[in-house]
Amino acid sequence: MTEAMNAENELENLDKTPRKVAFLTDSCVDVSPDLLKQRHIYTVPMRILCDYSQS
């Protein structure tokens, strides 16, 4: 089998390979907790640090 045929076979099989996808958003998202749970959307905490001191 030639190298070109090998590459073509790999591309064809790539479409058949199952993949896992996760949806991830920050905690400031405007989506209800119920919808996040229903759609299996994961959240990570978003921390906002403000430094009001003047130098």
**Mean local confidence (pLDDT), 7-17:** 71
**Contact criterion met (CB below 8 Å) for 43 and 36:** yes
* 3-state secondary structure (DSSP) of residue 19: coil
Strands 41-44 and 23-26: parallel
pLDDT (tens digit per residue) in 22-44:
899 999 999 999 999 999 999 99
Quickly count: other Cβ atoms within 10 Å of residue 16's Cβ. Answer: 6
> What is the chain's Cα-based Rg?
22
Q: What is the pTM of this model?
A: 0.51
**Contact criterion met (CB below 8 Å) for 6 and 23:** no
